[in-house]
Structure 1
């Protein structure tokens, strides 16, 4: 009887100790959307030509048992897609779910596993629509889970550690891969294959992950999350906005097609500082007169598309994208069009976000 009582006492003590340890750790929710981090290849050396979005969230978590050392982790499979298939509807659903979870007192941070192809776009959309200062971290991988030296496990560990850190709060949506921390607004995928593909080419990383701890060196100056004016809680659809890419001998065909389809806005990824060829300028001018909002951006990948630089934006009633990439300018324009079609108000947004 005494031995049984002693065993029960020890068991109770162990359970109490485990409960206390769990209570001391932050609660992080992992929302899985698919991508290479959940991909599988035919062999351990397959790093291209693999199948994305095959591994579920529970297996991702099980593959990194060290996660339990930094947080109480739960997983939820939101989507299971390759990120080139990400749509506006996916973004709306994901953002609403993130806001629901962050409103709960028992959720301290969120990690979103994502394919790398459109990761930067999802991150920027969330940066403008999440209404919380709690950390939100997007993470992916360049090698499938079956590959030698797969980068997914360490990236996931660092992302959970980052989302667990109070130092990450209030910094906007973050992107964490390859031991670096980048801002959603500034980061872009720069290489088709290498693990250091995500870079903030204009301004540099915010910091690094060192032994599971974030080390920050700077913040981002543009408004985001709780300071954003955009509210998607009641939206079930986003305005139609597309991107037209410029090049030598570009014609007006694509622009006319988007006008004919009834799009509300168009982003022109121009050469140089957003310059416009003669036929493209004529097509965009006509599009604006028909009510379409036109944003001038650049295909170069870095630098500012200056207002009234390569085109007289005041005269044409166009909007300049500042240093946003064409794909991110599209996101801001879509959200801006949910509030206004006034080009002056939209230009203010491009200088603010």
Structure 2
């Protein structure tokens, strides 16, 4: 090899080495985000592109979800795990425990900066709130779903997942608890609920979103004044099982059959989804009083989508030794109850927990 050829060879090798170092440095500066897949619409598929509401959920595995959005590599170093492949209405307490334990293990790893959980929209708010209560970390945890399968025209899953990864890898999302990113909004798991079953703007909070994510940038508008994450008294690592808690729905001409059946079936608490301000029909009250005397905790919630239940309004909660759910809807009240009951059965303590969380 001539002198000039050797010079060109060394120069070319040097450029290649610098390029490799540059690429490696970029990879190291990007956050490491783990995507835990559980199924749902975001992993669903329809018969054709016009099927936006008729489809099969939980069909697409996590590796295909990730490979279908190459832009993810621009915002984070992403890897995926398939925890479940389930439509979310079929998730159980045991599934919540399995998912929670895995999330808790991952957030302890120094090479994990944030976690995204893909989830069916039907019970997404319940899983998100459970994790919000029991995972002791400041690292961002984002639960995300979609309202349309990936095969549909104008599918929302790709952008929702991209935004979720962006938020999970963001330093400014730390310490905000578990978040839900849908339709560009960033909501807290504590407040958000699914409010419509067709449109893509399905997830909302009566108190408003924490912020928005637009074109890869987060915009924050408020903080959450409740306990969660590192400030929570609950820790998934110390929980071995979750108690049975059931919901009874209040309506005209209702009866106490469901409450009696749940009590006989082993319920440790019953959430009464009452009308208005958590009202309970006069012919149902005696059954709930009897169940309370047997040790079943009675928690008054409301079926209305906004507002909150006032203690000792509509019902004498102090006299009956009942608990009120405040602004938590029935399904969120159930989640807090299954967590709180792992620590206490005292109604005064339970009421404190419902005020603080």
TM-score (norm. length: structure 2): 0.96
- Please tell me whether the aligned partners of residues 104 and 236 of structure 2 are also in contact (alpha carbons under 8 angstroms): no
Q: CA RMSD in A?
A: 1.1
> Any idea what the Cα deviations from partners look like across 1:80-99, whole Å, max 9, x if unmatched?
11111111111111111111
Q: What pairs up with 1:3-42 in 2 under 5 angstroms? A: 5-42=10-47
Structure-2 separation of matches of 1:105 and 1:232:
19
2:278 counterpart residue number: 274
1:211 counterpart residue number: 215
Q: Aligned to 1:249, what secondary structure does the other structure show?
A: coil
Structure-2 separation of matches of 1:48 and 1:232:
35
2:130 counterpart residue number: 125
State whether structure 2 residue 267 is matched by structure 1 residue 263: yes
Match of 1:196 among 193, 196, 201: 201
1:308 counterpart residue number: 312
Q: Aligned to 1:233, what secondary structure does the other structure show?
A: helix
Q: What pairs up with 1:1-353 in 2 under 5 angstroms? A: 2=6, 5-200=10-205, 202-353=206-357
Structure-2 separation of matches of 1:246 and 1:208:
36
Which stretches in structure 2 are left out of the alignment for 5+ residues? none
How many pairs does the alignment contain? 352
Structure-2 separation of matches of 1:133 and 1:241:
29
Q: Aligned to 1:65, what secondary structure does the other structure show?
A: coil
Q: Aligned to 1:80, what secondary structure does the other structure show?
A: coil
- Please tell me whether the aligned partners of residues 45 and 147 of structure 1 are also in contact (alpha carbons under 8 angstroms): yes
- Please tell me whether the aligned partners of residues 324 and 354 of structure 2 are also in contact (alpha carbons under 8 angstroms): yes
- Please tell me whether the aligned partners of residues 28 and 109 of structure 1 are also in contact (alpha carbons under 8 angstroms): yes
CA shift, 1:235, in A, is 2.8
CA shift, 1:16, in A, is 1.5
- Please tell me whether the aligned partners of residues 89 and 236 of structure 1 are also in contact (alpha carbons under 8 angstroms): no
CA shift, 1:226, in A, is 0.8
Structure-1 separation of matches of 2:20 and 2:119:
35
Q: Aligned to 2:248, what secondary structure does the other structure show?
A: strand
Structure-2 separation of matches of 1:183 and 1:190:
15
CA shift, 1:115, in A, is 0.5
CA shift, 1:4, in A, is 5.4
